[in-house]
């Protein structure tokens, strides 16, 4: 019997092609938080695809310097919530030897742990924690399909560093009239988003309801979170979204577009902002 949640989930999308817009079933990669505990105490939360959670926890602790070799590692176990037996988003790790001796110091430096986390941590809890900081966005303008569809190419045409190195993600903000107001390239996808949002923040142009955030890659929970906190109404990604990105976009009132290509795109939430 598997200890893991499924790594994929059925989603309902609007697929837009040359022949029109149609509701369809699709499949999204699951993104859910994994809480890593040390001796039953919260240490870190990792956004991951369920599966090989014990391996993920072990590899993560090695890279973080918590353990140096297998001898530092005792039991590595999924923790089950008595009321939610299907929730497997917590792995508890027992350390041995020198690593165990450092436990108090390690727990003092614990990272990214949601204060609301319990053994029932899940994407639902993650979204609820964010809801305390932001309210759902209202639809204040719509974008023409023709404008939306050319934004990925407009982004691509503004990536001089990618042209030279093949190594950079990009993010840009466009108005719903299709005007580019900010663009950034970075080795980190999240950084590129922070840079364009930060520019608008420094220019005192937030919130960005009537803007589209275009990203060169996939959309994860974190990309949607950043868009929401900046009040961006529409996200247009060249690649696929994760399950948690879709769930969060629904809650946030954000129109989430994925697989944006010259021939068409998929809409995962709030299609009412698009003139299809």
- What is the rounded distance in angstroms from the CA atom of residue 78 to the CA atom of residue 1? 13
Specify the residue, 100 or 142, whose C-beta has the smaller distance to a copy of itself.
100
- What is the rounded distance in angstroms from the CA atom of residue 150 to the CA atom of residue 128? 34
Among 173, 240, 256, 267, binds a copy of itself (CB under 8 A): 240
Contact 158, 185 (CB under 8 A): no
Pick the piece of the chain touching a copy of itself (CB under 8 A) from 16-24, 118-126, 193-201, 208-216. 193-201
Using CB under 8 A as the binding rule, whether residue 31 contacts a copy of itself is answered as yes
Using CB under 8 A as the binding rule, whether residue 49 contacts a copy of itself is answered as yes
Helix and strand numbers, DSSP H then E, in the chain: 9, 14
Contact 233, 209 (CB under 8 A): yes
Catalytic residue flag (residue 119)? yes
- CB of residue 154 to a copy of itself, shortest distance in Å: 19
Using CB under 8 A as the binding rule, whether residue 224 contacts a copy of itself is answered as no
Among 1, 18, 63, 146, binds a copy of itself (CB under 8 A): 63
Query: Which residue spans within 79-168 are E strands per DSSP?
Result: 90-95, 143-144
3-class secondary-structure state, position 54: helix
Window 108 to 147, contacts with a copy of itself (CB under 8 A)? 111-112, 133
Among 73, 172, 213, 214, binds a copy of itself (CB under 8 A): 73
**How many Å separate Cα 267 from the centre of its chain?**
16
Give the full edge-to-edge strand order of the sheet including 73-78. Answer: 41-48, 32-38, 90-95, 73-78
Using CB under 8 A as the binding rule, whether residue 262 contacts a copy of itself is answered as no
Using CB under 8 A as the binding rule, whether residue 196 contacts a copy of itself is answered as yes
Specify the residue, 185 or 247, whose C-beta has the smaller distance to a copy of itself.
185
Neighbours of 149 (CB within 10 A): 19
Going by C-alpha positions, the residue among 226, 23, 56, 215 that lies closest to residue 133 is 226
- What is the rounded distance in angstroms from the CA atom of residue 187 to the CA atom of residue 162? 10
Residues composing the chain: 276
Among 116, 135, 140, 165, binds a copy of itself (CB under 8 A): 165
Among 40, 59, 128, 153, binds a copy of itself (CB under 8 A): 59
Contacts with a copy of itself, residue ranges (CB under 8 A): 7-8, 27-31, 46-49, 51-52, 54-60, 62-63, 65, 68-70, 73, 76, 111-112, 133, 161, 164-168, 184-188, 191, 193-199, 201-202, 204, 206, 218, 220, 222, 225-226, 229-230, 239-242, 259
Residues with catalytic roles: 119
């Amino acid at each position: 019997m598997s200890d893991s949640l499924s790594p994929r989930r059925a989603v309902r999308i609007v697929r837009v092609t040359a022949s029109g817009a149609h509701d369809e079933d699709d499949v999204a990669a699951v993104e859910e938080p994994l809480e890593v505990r040390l001796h039953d105490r919260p240490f870190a939360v990792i956004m991951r695809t369920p599966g090989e959670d014990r391996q993920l926890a072990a590899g993560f602790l090695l890279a973080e310097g918590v353990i140096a070799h297998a001898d530092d590692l005792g039991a590595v176990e999924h923790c089950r919530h008595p009321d939610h037996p299907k929730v497997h988003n917590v792995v508890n790790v027992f350390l041995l030897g020198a690593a165990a001796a450092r436990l108090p110091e390690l727990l003092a430096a614990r990272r990214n742990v949601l204060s609301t986390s319990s053994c029932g941590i899940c994407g639902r809890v993650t979204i609820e924690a964010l809801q305390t900081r932001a309210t759902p966005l209202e639809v204040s303008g719509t974008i023409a399909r023709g404008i939306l569809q050319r934004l990925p190419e407009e982004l691509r045409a503004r990536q001089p560093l990618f042209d030279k190195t093949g190594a950079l993600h990009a993010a840009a903000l466009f108005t719903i009239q299709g005007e580019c107001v900010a663009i950034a390239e970075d080795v980190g996808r999240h950084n590129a988003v922070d840079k364009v949002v930060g520019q608008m923040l420094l220019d005192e142009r937030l919130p960005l309801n009537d803007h589209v955030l275009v990203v060169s890659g996939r959309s994860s929970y974190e990309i949607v979170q950043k868009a929401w906190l900046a009040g961006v109404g529409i996200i247009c990604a060249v690649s696929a979204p994760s399950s948690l990105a879709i769930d969060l976009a629904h809650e946030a009132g954000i129109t989430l577009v994925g697989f944006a290509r010259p021939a068409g795109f998929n809409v995962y939430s709030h299609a009412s902002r698009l003139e299809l």
